[in-house]
Amino acid sequence: MIVDKNNEGAGCGQVEVGGVVFGGTRLVLIAGPCTVESREQMLEIACAVKEAGASMLRGGAFKPRSSPYAFQGLCEKGLEILAEVRERTGLPVVTEVLESSQLPVVAAVADMIQIGSRNMHNSVLLRDAGVCGKPVLLKRGMSATIQEYLYAAEYVLAAGSRRVVLCERGIRTFETATRFTLDLSAVPLLKERTWLPVIVDPSHGTGKASLVPAMSRAAVACGADGVMLEVHAHPDKALCDGDQSERPEMFYKIVKELRLIAEAVGRTI
Ligand code: PEP
Ligand code: MN
């Protein structure tokens, strides 16, 4: 398979997104709210996470909510806000696409297309994302085996793209004390099996803001090429995933701690 580590020449192990490189010595810190709520919210949080050391901005415009009655995102308006905030801050933007028909509008704005956990098995979307011309952040399906995950990445690669980044975001187990079980062993395992960069999302992986700092440190320690964290200026008022969102002050503290871990494993931030 193209994705295989021993498939020499398939990919160089690095993926560049708007000047940010995944898979190099420098770790990539993606931060931002779960969802784009307003222009003011995004401008405030983008400036705060940039100041703290984030290299990319996240924020969902089209949201894959478990309940059809939950906030579904600002959609096209959310994309407009992301475009303006990118312009103002210089931070490259990653945002999710839920279906192929959204690819043209999302790709027109996003520096990187996110395919979420719930869509990891959507082979049509994977193939279409692979030809859209933008790098893809492919999150692990919450019930996907490593083999199924690699097949999903292969769909994107087989469509012609070489710019795919994997993201471990927790899997379903019998445990209910955390939202998901963050499978950090997936990081060194994926690194053994594939040449693709691998990042970790401890926010969705734990569902609890109090656990995110420790699991972020663990992610860097086990070899992740970066982390993606949900950060919100007012988590208690967040329209989505407030329980797992860090305040900007805490994000600043996490980045400081990650610098120490990064240095210990021969990386920088
Ligand atoms: C997200 O990162 O916005 C998200 C919805 O995560 P996941 O697809 O991992 O649930
Ligand atoms: Mn979220």
Q: Does the beta carbon of 134 lie inside 6 Å of ligand 1? A: no
Q: What is the CA radius of gyration of the chain?
A: 17
CA atoms lying within 13 Å on the CB side of residue 74: 18
Q: Is 67 helix (H, G, I), strand (E, B) or coil?
A: coil
Task: Name the residue with the closest Cα to ligand 1, atom 4.
Answer: 116
CA angle 113, 49, 106 (to 5 degrees): 20
pLDDT band at 11 (very low <50, low <70, confident <90, very high): confident
**Averaged pLDDT, 203-208:** 98
Q: Which helix (H) or strand (E) holds 241?
A: none
pLDDT at 182: 98
pLDDT over 90 percentage in the chain: 97
Task: Name the residue with the closest Cα to ligand 1, atom 9.
Answer: 117
268 vs 226: CA distance, rounded Å: 10
**CB atoms near residue 8 (< 10 Å):** 8
Asked whether residue 71 carries a pLDDT value surpassing 80, the answer given is yes
**Averaged pLDDT, 165-189:** 98
Asked whether residue 38 carries a pLDDT value surpassing 80, the answer given is yes
Structure tokens at 112: 């990187």
CA of 9 to the centre of ligand 1 (A): 31
Asked whether residue 191 carries a pLDDT value surpassing 80, the answer given is yes
